[in-house]
Amino acid sequence: MKVTPDIPAPSAILEAALYVDDLDAAERFYGDLLGLVRIQRVAERHVFYRVGASILLIFNADKTEEPPSNPDLPVPPHGARGPGHVCLVLTRPEIDAMRKHLLDWNIPVDAEFDWPNGARSLYVRDPSGNSVEFSEGHLWD
């Protein structure tokens, strides 16, 4: 891949978005079940969570396709259909504890394995079918 020196490279991903069809079910999953810290909810449009230095945006897919109603915040319509993916960082012992916690809540495990570099990953689905991965932080090292 060619790197262009006069174009600044972003240093991090500030936010990532998933789109859901049931915001209340998503809030129970990400907030109550996973214990993420909710920082904002706007009616039936979205719920946002802090994850370390990043923000996980959970949007009602239908509502984000609507034009903005606040002229001071002209965020353009956006959205996606179908399952998305997010990967959340945990240590190996935390992944083991999360696996037990999820199974106690009858959340089936889609997959669980070690990558060639030794990082462990655990995959489940949220209520809208999005793939939620828990992995050790050295997955991409």
Instruction: Read off the pLDDT of residues 103-115 as tens digits, 9 standing for 90 and up.
Output: 999 999 999 999 9
Task: Identify each DSSP E strand in 6-130 by its residue range.
Answer: 15-20, 37-42, 46-51, 54-60, 85-89, 111-114, 120-125
Check residue 128 and give its pLDDT. Answer: 95
Check residue 130 and give its pLDDT. Answer: 96
The phi and psi torsions of 46 (rounded to 5 degrees) equal: -160, 165
pTM value > 0.75: yes
Q: Would you call 128 exposed, middle or buried from its count of C-beta atoms within 10 A (0-12, 13-18, 19+)? A: buried
**pLDDT-based confidence at residue 2 (cuts at 50, 70, 90):** low
* Interval 62-98: pLDDT, tens: 998 888 888 888 888 888 888 999 999 999 999 999 9
Cβ neighbours of residue 66 closer than 8 Å, sequence gap 6 or more: 77
- Rounded to the nearest integer, the mean pLDDT of the chain is 92
The H-or-E segment that residue 44 falls in is none
Domains along the chain? 15-66+83-140 (3.10.180.10)
Check residue 139 and give its pLDDT. Answer: 95
